């Protein structure tokens, strides 16, 4: 038997990412779980941020941000950057987060993040408690340590984390690959 609950956001788990932003030489980093892919071609993503968050105005005014994927090693920083405001504390300093320059935008990326996605805001949708920044992906930086010899991105080696109902988890075992359910089985010889 199932219970009927009031309407709410129940799409879990979600990626917990660290979003870096810069405006007028002020840098900040904020944790975002409301994020994802919108389109493959052209490559587009979104983040949803509450307007009262310090990073909101930095992103709105600059029109740029970077999505930095997180790992088990970054879980404490991921939590800290979501519960502390950049108005009151330098989160980069407090969490020892080393900044590196982005390639296509004037915004820092996180050195310890295995993947940095450089974004330019295309549109802002004011939806209610959160406003959605729809953005074009201008560049992706990938740590070479995450690549296999054939060039495949082996993100699982970085121990990525997800967020679910106020808790952070690492990912479990591989259960299948895209298309495995319809792939024809090879005949044994």
**Tens of pLDDT along 33-86?**
999 999 999 999 999 999 999 999 999 999 999 999 999 999 999 999 999 999
pLDDT confidence of residue 161: 93
Q: Which residues pair with 119 in a beta bridge?
A: 65, 137
Angle at 53 between CA 64 and CA 63, to 5 degrees: 15
pTM: 0.93
Quickly count: other Cβ atoms within 10 Å of residue 95's Cβ: 20
CATH of domain 14-170: 2.30.110.10
- The pLDDT of residue 189 is above 70: no
Q: Which residues are within 8 A (CB) of 109 and not within 5 positions of it... i.e. 6 or more apart?
A: 20, 66, 68, 99, 100, 101, 102, 116, 118, 141
Domain boundaries, given as residue ranges, for the chain? 14-170
Mean pLDDT (whole number) for 113-119 = 98
- The pLDDT of residue 129 is above 70: yes
Q: Which two tokens stand for residue 17?
A: 């990412």
21, 13 Cβ separation under 8 angstroms: no
pLDDT confidence of residue 1: 95
- The pLDDT of residue 20 is above 80: yes
CA 21 – CA 99 distance, rounded (Å) = 11
Mean pLDDT (whole number) for 90-115 = 98
Q: Which two tokens stand for residue 169?
A: 């988890």
């Amino acid at each position: 038997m199932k219970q009927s609950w009031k309407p709410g956001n129940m799409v879990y788990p979600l990626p917990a990412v660290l979003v870096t932003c810069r405006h007028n030489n002020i840098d900040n980093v904020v944790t975002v779980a409301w994020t994802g892919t919108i389109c493959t071609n052209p490559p587009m993503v979104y983040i949803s941020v509450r307007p009262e968050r310090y990073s909101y105005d930095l992103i709105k005014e600059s029109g740029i941000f970077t999505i930095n994927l997180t790992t088990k090693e970054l879980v404490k920083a991921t939590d800290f950057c979501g519960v502390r405001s950049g108005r009151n504390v330098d989160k980069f300093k407090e969490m020892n987060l080393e900044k590196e320059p982005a390639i296509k935008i004037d915004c820092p990326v996180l050195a310890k993040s295995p993947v940095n996605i450089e974004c330019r805001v295309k549109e802002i949708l004011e939806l209610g408690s959160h406003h959605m920044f729809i953005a074009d992906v201008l560049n992706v930086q990938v740590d070479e340590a995450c690549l296999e010899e054939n060039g495949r991105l082996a993100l699982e080696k970085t121990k990525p984390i997800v967020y679910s109902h106020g808790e952070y988890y690492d990912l479990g075992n591989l259960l299948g690959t895209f298309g495995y359910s319809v792939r024809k089985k090879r005949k044994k010889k």
